[in-house]
Structure 1
Amino acid sequence: MGVAAIKYGEQDIANLFCMPQTLVTLIESCLSGAGVPELAEIVLQDAALSARVINAASKAGSTRIDAAEPVTSAIQQLGLPVVTGIALQAAKQVVAHDFTDTSLHFLNSLWFSSRVAGQFARCLSPTVSYLHVEEAQLSGLLLNLGLYTLFSKHGDDYAELAAESKSSPALSQRELQSYQQDHLHVAEDVIEPWKLDSFLIDAVRFLHQDVVQIENSSQLLKIARLSHQICQHPLELTDDVRQLAERLFQFSRSEIDYLFSWAKGLYKGAIPALEDPEKLREQLKEARGRLIDLIFALADQEGARARLLGNNRPELLATEARHLYLENSPAGEAIFMLVDHKNNQLAGIVAEGQARLISELKVPLDASLSLVVQALVSGETNNSFSAKQPLSVTDQLLLRIGGKRGFFCQPFLLDGRLLGAVVLSVDREEEMSTLHLLRLRMFGQVVSESIAQLSNDVPDNFFEGSAQLRRVSHELSNPLTIIGNYAEVIGHLLPDDEHREFTDAIKREVRRVDDVLNYYLNQQELPPFPDRDISLNQLVYEAVDALQEGELQPRRIDVRFNLKNDLAKVSTNGVLVKQILVNLLKNAAEAVTEGGEIQLATRDSYCSDGGRFVEVVVQDNGGGIDSQVKDQLFRPVVSTKGPGHAGVGLSIVKGMVDDLGGRISYHSSPAAGTGFHLQIPCGDDDFSAASLI
């Protein structure tokens, strides 16, 4: 009687070894309060880390993981503290394990091979018009997941059996003889519980099927197959790869040459020194030392969080936070300023033992000359020593109160929300390097959380904001009316209705602006009921029509549609949805070069608390979003469009999406361009105004 094959599952995922250097980067980013896009980009460099994060999210609750962006969706569901905990457990495992030369060689080769497949799949996906770039990257990354799992269970014995760190039919045969299970079925066991609405699991289990069957299957299976072939010789393009690329995707020689060169540039710098065991061991030692430091830093962060807990008044919070900064930095004073949303200013908060003059510091948020406002608005630290302009009066007052020759500003932000800043007084410019250390950034994250929690107890000042909006609406009302009237007159002057569609479009867009203004005027006082049976596909076409003459046709931008014919209709506010789509399309049009391409797709989805959504994807083939602004993308100050643009469009979009109860996310890279995913809840037949508040 044969021995039954072992069933692999979630406990085996907890034993997978993550790449130490990737863990260092992830934990540092978690400590600094990085946003979801940055965290997802880091996690997608490591197969074991991706598996740990997705597995945790799949067990966390009823919310389904978005198969189009599985890692991003998982991180959004788990939140920063849980992701930090996953990284911490993986780090402890790496620090505690006694790696042999054999295991180090095997793991480094495996980490690199998986990264190669993931990066190539990421580049290949938009090239073959597969919209779900992250899903494609993950499929390449996880092709070797079974090898990770078998190594974690059998160690050096498996490393010697495998000989290579790549999936192959020959390896499957050796595994079956030794373990009654091969790596493809092991990977299937591990991935299946995630219940992804994706062919990812099939891309792995059919990896070695005859290419005749693969070439007529899903795009994802073909992407995985070609990505795996690249892994065999990641630094040179072989005839086998060229032939497979032509067979699966009809690539010409120049096309596959270009694609390979592009992908190789992304992973070439990660080549491990496999022929130098001493160097591998030295790199591991260095990474372990850094991980140990970070483990202690995480403990310090929890200690700081505990110290700030329960300080339910600004002055109490400032007092405890001041102690934290003075104890852990060379600063002689720490002055806290919090955002006063009512008066649109930064206001000084007096901590225990500080001069009362701090309470008299009031700095308008539009006072661009002040270094402390510049730090807050930019989301970046700055200091008086490197100021490129004379110090403002406010900055000179801060210098006097601090009693030192200079100061350092650290902003407090959380999820793009402006909260305040701390001004640390120092005597020497050389002390700036200490203030840039992770420990200080870590405290900034904890203080930001505490300020956000504190501000949650204070109601938003609706009336001031509403009054300002009414003034803006009043100022816009007359010119909008005049524009509409002129369009009407021009329409009557045109002979035989010639070009009447243009004047109709002008009037339609004027009405849309008026509708949007009226919506924001009335939403707090009397939330409007949603319109029933709104067709998202129809709104997509209308949004494109609104930009066709002014934005798209003059620059020869090609718009391609992939709209689901039987897409569910929704109960929502059609005016806002169309405005969101127009803003996203306008953003995409400005991101691509002349003759560029925008792809629009719609689909049904189930990705938030089990609820039904309809989704539209706006994908451009531009150069991607600068990594420095990704975490602040939905803030009003952020722009990727160059001088002359205020960058407020995406901030407006985020506010409108929140008003609709929807979600918006994005993926972006220089290779793939940028794709925005807008999800609108389908709504119920029995809806009420209360459900919209």
Structure 2
Amino acid sequence: MPPAPINIPPDTDLPSLPQIALRALEACHSDASFRDIARIIDTDTALCGRMLALANSALYRQANPVKTIEQAMLRLGIRQIESLIITASLRQLLVRLEPEHWQQLRDFWRHSLTTALIARALARLTRYPSTEEAYMVGLLHNAGELVLMSSPADHPVAEYPASELGAALCHHWGFDRHVEDAVRYQQESPDSIRDAGHLVKLVHLSTRLALADSGGLDAAHLLFGLTSALTREICTGIEQDVQSLADSLNIDLSGSGDDRPARDRLFREVVSTAMIERVMQDMPNDLPFDDVMLDGLRHLTMLTGRPASLLTIADRELTLREATVGGAPAMTIPLDAPQSLVTRAVETGDMLVGDADSDKATVLDRQLMSLLGTPTLMTRPVVTAEGTGGVYVIGLQARASAERYRELLTLFGRHVHRRLTEPAPAPDSQHLLDQASRQLAVRRQVHEISNPLTIVRQYVSQLQRRLANPDSDTETMDNDLTIVREELDRAAHLLEQLREVEITSLDETPGDDPITDLNDELETMEALFRESLFRSADIESAMERTSASGLVRARRGALRQVVTNLVRNAVEAMPEGGRITLQTDAPVWQGTKQWVELTISDSGRGLPDSIRQTLFQPVASTKGAGHSGLGLSIVKQIVDDMEGIISCKTGAGGTSFRILLPAAGKDQ
């Protein structure tokens, strides 16, 4: 009989160490990569739980629940992640924990992270198919303790054991039943779980080893046949890893550390962010460049209460545009030989502080100080990739006060830069957003329908030539007709999706085998392209297949879409002919996984700059009528859905796409 459900809201306020929230928020503000931000969040049970709950909620209705933080981040986006961290931090800052609770929270963090790292190591050692799932469950296994820690003693949840509360949270966060079981049965005896699922045994053993349980070594031998020496070696290495990570995050695990400095910094970061959002939310979304910069000056004065001026960039010159005190005299400064504070700020991209008494103060610096009526200047450059933008300058009474404004100016500049580079939706236009979303869905499906039809057209052309030859092999033609029928079925399936216009991710054709031999599929498609597409475009092709197994965990229809999109792009990039190489390689090891590598290369002129800057994003097509600019974005989405990795290398000598697909053994 299944256990009765426990009523725990999925957004339950679970506390995090302020050092983690602060570092994650700083990473968001510094435009760090998804992977760098994920590495920080991946160490904290509460933030991971919040992110998984949001990513798997009805707000982001998707066909498949996310299971890792990187997947959740791709679904939510940086802006939503930043909002989530700020909200969680604000909630936590409103709660005053006693000093012993902070030490308890540090101990919890160390235990959860140690359990997660041990679970990942054991999963790799015992060949559990998903090491990252083992890590995530290890990190979240004790979330029930956080619920009890943050709830009053008379709360209804207090009557449940922590393992049951943790299992209930995993259910709310979108995990499968086998994950709930691993959390629920973590405290069972080793004898009682000897024949339980692999993940149940992994989590049980990991938590015992993380606690340095005296019976942990015996359990390791009983459950997985591991020797005491090997188990001790694993635990010792992970203990060092946890300490190293704690040091990098300024978390004192000795018990003598004070978390107040981190809480104070987190408070300032959150308040500064809230001030920026509140003051600048009335900035119109459709302002031209100059107006964005000038409106930013007005908001900067409101935020800092200091006199300020703005110099904008045009044709490698700075022009004084406006000052909040007095008038702005005509002033143009070349950027060719940067000496003054403002020109050096543009060249370095740094916030600089200068005093009238400094030997480095130029005449221009003193002019700006006189204009603002202050003895000290502080700059905040905002420069786009195209070299546009400008420099904001605020006047200060002393250099010592600059640190007070540094955090605020950093966030302010980031906000202005975002307004300059990211087109925002018009106010009160949700219906336009919905319409644009539907149009994008239709464009995606129309683009994908063209792929099976392209294959059908090429096979029909091939069949016509074979029918004209009386010596053609009937069996080969039957195989060709089978492929034509499969591709027509796929087109019909895509048309059905288009009719419903409810696309969350590219579905697979029903009945597709989830494991495909990449070598065989690529060989078939290369022969097809060579017979029709390559010959008419004067393209020379080559196929280099690995001698190792090419089995991958991917459906044939998805692979065909990826290869067809990339090959068509390559052909279109070489209007005067050239060479295309299709290559597979295996085994490839990256991280903790085994992959099969697919490389598609051409000898064209490389991708244009406009495409490189928005690679794998839907863009306006550069190919003219009949093209919608979606090919690479769809390729990226399909590869992500297959849990693969795609990268691109391009230059004057051609373009190469490298795709890593999860390897699948013959026994799978």
Q: Which has the higher contact order (CA 8 A, sep 6+)?
A: 1
TM range, smaller chain: 0.5 to 0.7
In structure 2, what is the Cα distance between the partners aligned to 1:8 and 1:130? 32
Q: Secondary structure at the match of 2:281?
A: helix
- Which residue does the alignment assign to 2:8? 9
Shift of residue 25, structure 1, vs aligned partner: 2.0
What is the aligned counterpart of 1:285 among 260, 263, 267?
260
CA deviation after TM superposition for structure 1 residue 228, in Å: 0.9
315-324 vs 243-252, which deviates more?
243-252
Counterpart in 2 of 1:260?
Answer: 235
Q: What corresponds to 1:315 in structure 2?
A: 290
SS of the residue 2:181 aligns to: helix
Q: CA deviation at 1:301?
A: 1.7
Give secondary structure in 2 for the equivalent of 1:446.
helix
Q: Is 2:195 the partner of 1:220?
A: no
Q: 1:152 to 1:452 in 2, by over 3 A?
A: same
Q: Which residue of 2 aligns with 1:194?
A: 173
Matched residue, 1:43: 41
1:183 aligns with 2:181: no
Structure-1 residue corresponding to 2:105: 107
Q: CA deviation at 1:317?
A: 0.9
What residue number does 2:437 align with? none
Instruction: Measure the CA separation in 1 of the matches of 2:587 and 2:411.
Output: 35
Displacement after TM superposition at 1:295 (Å)? 2.9
Q: How does 1:14-29 map to 2 (within 5 A)?
A: 14-29=12-27
Change (3 A) 1:76 1:273: closer
Aligned mates of 1:122, 1:588 — CA distance in 2: 21
* Among 299, 302, 322, the residue aligned to 2:274: 299
Q: Please give the alpha-carbon distance, in whole angstroms, between the structure 1 residues aligned to 2:585 and 2:297.
A: 45
Please give the TM-score of this superposition, normalised by the length of structure 2.
0.56
Hey, what's the Cα distance between the residues in 2 that align with 1:334 and 1:408? Answer: 10
SS at match of 2:175: coil
* RMSD of equivalent CA atoms: 5.8
Distance change (3 Å), C-alpha of 1:328 and 1:79: same
Contact 1:304 1:324 in 2 (8 A): yes
Q: Is the 8 A contact 1:561 1:599 kept in 2?
A: no
Secondary structure of the equivalent of 1:308?
coil
The 3 A distance-change label for structure 1 pair 55 and 65 is farther
| CA shift digits 1:559-612 (9 cap, x unpaired) | 7766248665566252445799999989997x97xxx997127xxxxxxxxxxx
Partner residue, 1:153: 151
Residue 272 of structure 2 aligns to which amino acid in structure 1?
A
* Mapped contact 2:306–2:394 kept (Cα < 8 A): yes
Q: Secondary structure at the match of 2:57?
A: helix
- Say which SS state the counterpart of residue 61 (structure 1) adopts: helix
Q: Cα offset for 1:450?
A: 0.5
The verdict on how the C-alpha distance between 1:586 and 1:408 changes in structure 2, with shifts beyond 3 A counting, is: farther
For residue 599 of structure 1, give the secondary structure of its aligned residue in structure 2.
Answer: strand
Contact in 1 for aligned 2:550/2:586 (Cα 8 Å): no
Q: How many angstroms apart in 2 are the aligned matches of 1:597 and 1:96?
A: 40
Q: One-letter code of the match for 1:152?
A: S
* Structure 2 letter corresponding to 1:59: S
Is the 8 Å Cα contact of residues 406 and 425 (structure 1) preserved in structure 2? yes
Q: Alpha-carbon deviation of 1:239?
A: 7.0
User: Sequence identity, in percent?
Assistant: 16
The 1:117–1:312 alpha-carbon spacing in structure 2 relative to 1, beyond 3 Å, is same
How many aligned positions are there?
491
Q: Does the Cα contact within 8 Å between 1:663 and 1:678 map onto a contact in 2?
A: no
Q: For residues 105 and 659 of structure 1, what CA distance do their matches in structure 2 show?
A: 48
Task: Indicate conservation of the 8 Å contact 2:112/2:141, yes or no.
Answer: yes
The 2-side partners of 1:384 and 1:120 are apart by 48
**Aligned partners of 1:113 and 1:231 also within 8 Å:** yes
The separation in 2 between residues aligned to 1:267 and 1:667, in whole angstroms, is: 29
Letter of the 1:139 counterpart: V
Q: Distance in 1 between matches of 2:150 and 2:242?
A: 25
Q: Give 3-state SS (helix, strand or coil) of 2:186's partner.
A: coil
| Cα gap change, 1:63 to 1:72, in 2 (>3 Å) | farther
Relative to structure 1, the CA distance from residue 286 to residue 244 in structure 2 (aligned partners, 3 Å threshold; closer, same or farther) is same
Could you say which residue in structure 2 is the equivalent of 1:599?
594
Q: Could you tell me how far 1:30 is from its partner in structure 2?
A: 3.4
Q: Which moved more, 1:569-578 or 1:135-144?
A: 569-578
Does 2:416 correspond to 1:447? yes
Measured after TM superposition, the shift of residue 139 of structure 1 is 0.6
Alignment of 1:659-678 (within 5 A): 660=635, 662=637
1:473-496 per-position Cα deviation (integer Å, ceiling 9, x unaligned): xxxxxxxxxxxxxxxxxxxxxxxx
Map 1:112-127 to 2 at 5 A.
112-127=110-125
Mark the structure with the bigger radius of gyration.
2
Paired residues for 1:631-642 under 5 Å: none
Unmatched 5+ stretches in structure 1: 159-174, 339-344, 364-369, 386-395, 458-529, 602-615, 619-634, 638-647, 669-674, 680-693
Equivalents in 1 of 2:634, 2:598: separation in Å?
Answer: 19
Aligned mates of 2:158, 2:378 — CA distance in 1: 63
Q: Distance in 2 between matches of 1:61 and 1:584?
A: 40
Compared with structure 1, are the counterparts of its residues 288 and 598 closer, same or farther at alpha carbon in structure 2 (3 Å cutoff)?
Answer: closer
The answer to whether the Cα contact below 8 Å between 1:419 and 1:448 also exists between their aligned partners in 2 is: no
Q: 1:27 is aligned with what amino acid? A: L
User: What is the CA distance between 1:140 and its match in structure 2?
Assistant: 0.8
**In 2, Cα distance between the equivalents of 1:422 and 1:254?**
62
Aligned to 1:485: none
SS of equivalent residue, structure 1 residue 8: coil
Q: Distance in 1 between matches of 2:380 and 2:544?
A: 41
One-letter amino acid of the counterpart of residue 447, structure 1: V
Structure 2: runs of 5+ lacking an equivalent: 338-342, 355-361, 371-375, 427-505, 527-541, 571-579, 600-606, 619-630, 646-657, 663-668
How many angstroms does 1:268 deviate by? Answer: 1.7
Distance 2:72 2:406 in 1: 29
> CA distance change for structure 1 residues 587 and 5 in 2, over 3 Å: closer, same or farther?
closer
Deviations 1:229-252 (A, max 9, x none): 22212xxxx774444445545545
Closer, same or farther: CA 431–254 of 1 in aligned 2, 3 Å:
farther
1:208 pairs with 155, 171, 187, which one? 187
After TM superposition, give the deviation of residue 128 of structure 1 in Å: 4.9
Deviations 1:423-481 (A, max 9, x none): 46799997998499332321232112211245999xxxxxxxxxxxxxxxxxxxxxxxx
Q: Which residue of 2 aligns with 1:688?
A: none
Q: 1:572 aligned to 561, 570, 591, which one?
A: 561
Kindly provide the CA deviation profile for residues 392-419 of structure 1, in whole angstroms up to 9, marking residues without a partner as x. xxxx999999899999775657xxx778
Distance 1:544 1:435 in 2: 64
Please give the alpha-carbon distance, in whole angstroms, between the structure 2 residues aligned to 1:242 and 1:617. Answer: 42
SS in 2 for 1:600: strand
**Aligned partner of 2:265: which letter?**
R
Amino acid at match of 2:407: L
**Is contact 2:516-2:552 (8 Å) kept?**
yes
Summarize the alignment of residues 504-515 of structure 1 with structure 2, pairs less than 5 Å apart.
none
